[in-house]
Structures are given as C-alpha cells and as structure tokens.
C-alpha cells in the first residue's frame, strides 16, 4: 500500500525536495529516497547510516563488489527494485556481463574464488540461515577471504535482508533501466546516509 504522503512528500519541504531532485535527476525520484524523506526516524537516519557503513565504509571489497552482493541478496529475496538499483551501481565499477552472469548464477560466473565463496556463505545466510556452519565459513577463508572481508560481506547481506523486505512490503515502483542508471550515478556521488 502506497501512502500519498510517501509519493508526494509529507510536508512542503519534502515536496519541494522531491520535485527538485527529480528534476535534477531527469527522472522520478526512486521510492527508496521517497520513503527515506517520509520515515526519517528509521529509514533516513538509522538505516541510512547502517547502509552507508556497509556499502561505503572501509573494506577489502570494492564498492562495485559490495553493490553486486546487495543485488544478489536482493535476487534471493525476490526484490526487483533492489536488484535493478544495485546492479546499476555495480556496473559502474565492473563489467556488465560479469555482473549479469553473477546474478544469473554466481557458481558459474567469471568472478574471483574469494567472491564466489563469500556469495555461497551469503546465500546460506539469506535463504537457509539454520544451515550455516563453521565448515562453510572455513571454506570461504580457505578460498582466500579474510575474516574482515567476511564480516563486511555479512554486514552487506544483513542490511539488504532488511531493505529488500522493506521495499517489497511498500511495493516500490520499478524504474526503467535508464532511470536506474541515472539514480546509480547519484548514489555513487551521494552515498546512503
């Protein structure tokens, strides 16, 4: 259910911001940003800070790799909005065919083994958390993933396990590929907080 206050803004300041940003973007401001304006207490502050730390904080993973992880977690959680949004950001830092191959099947995609082993951990964490074992974590470490990289990847998955459910529950509208690409450029400049 989409509240009118989320769509248009819940006050004059937010209405103006939504219009100005949409004009500057040359496209409709994505629902993720509209919800952040509306529900600042959760989405705009706490969730934004958590997402910024996971996606843009110091890490052994590149921004593109973390964005790809977010897109893959979104795929597992059946969230087309987040798949499109985070794939669009990831392809700014990696080959589009590699991103698409990873989204299709990370097991056969032409990605480094540490990333593949990490995605295996994230898949179990996301889809079958009761089945995650120390053996799977040790296998990722043996594949060359550092403890810190694994912690960072788990943070990405945790935040997007939350965000995807939020996006699905609120029925975020799915922008076109061109709109996703425009928003991706903004996200790379601005970040999440």
pLDDT per position as a tens digit, 130-143: 999 999 999 999 99
Q: What is the pLDDT of residue 33?
A: 66
* 71 and 101 Cβ atoms separated by less than 8 Å: no
Cβ atoms within 10 Å of 97's Cβ, excluding its own: 11
pLDDT per position as a tens digit, 69-104: 999 999 999 999 999 999 999 999 999 999 999 999
DSSP of 29-52, one letter per residue?
PPHHHHHHHH-IIIIIIIIHHHHH
Long-range contacts of 136-139 (CB under 8 A, 24+ apart): none
Listed residue (76, 75, 56, 74) closest to 65, CA to CA: 56
What is the rounded distance in angstroms from the CA atom of residue 24 to the CA atom of residue 86? 21
**Tokens in use for 95?**
């080959």
Q: What is the pLDDT of residue 34?
A: 65
Residue ranges in the chain whose pLDDT is less than 50: none
Per CATH, the number for 47-190 is: 1.20.1290.10
**Tokens in use for 93?**
């830092």
Cβ atoms within 10 Å of 52's Cβ, excluding its own: 15
Between the two ends of the chain, the Cα-to-Cα distance in Å is: 25
Domain positions in the chain: 47-190
């Amino acid at each position: 259910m989409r509240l009118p206050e989320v769509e248009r803004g819940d006050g004059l300041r937010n209405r103006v911001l939504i219009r100005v940003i949409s004009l500057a973007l040359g496209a409709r401001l994505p629902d993720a940003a509209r919800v952040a304006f509306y529900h600042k207490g959760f989405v705009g502050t706490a969730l934004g800070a958590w997402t910024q730390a996971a996606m843009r904080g110091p890490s052994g993973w590149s921004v593109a790799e973390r964005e790809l992880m977010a897109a893959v977690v979104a795929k597992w959680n059946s969230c087309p909005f987040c798949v499109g949004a985070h794939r669009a950001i990831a392809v700014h830092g990696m080959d589009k065919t590699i991103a698409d191959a990873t989204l299709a099947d990370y097991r056969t995609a032409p990605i480094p083994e540490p990333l593949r082993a990490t995605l295996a951990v994230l898949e179990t964490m996301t889809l079958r958390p009761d089945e995650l074992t120390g053996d799977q974590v040790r296998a990722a470490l043996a594949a060359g993933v550092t403890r810190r990289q694994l912690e960072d990847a788990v943070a990405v998955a945790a935040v997007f396990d939350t965000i995807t459910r939020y996006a699905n529950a609120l029925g975020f509208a799915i922008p076109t590929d061109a709109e996703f690409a425009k928003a991706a450029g903004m996200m790379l400049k601005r970040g999440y907080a």
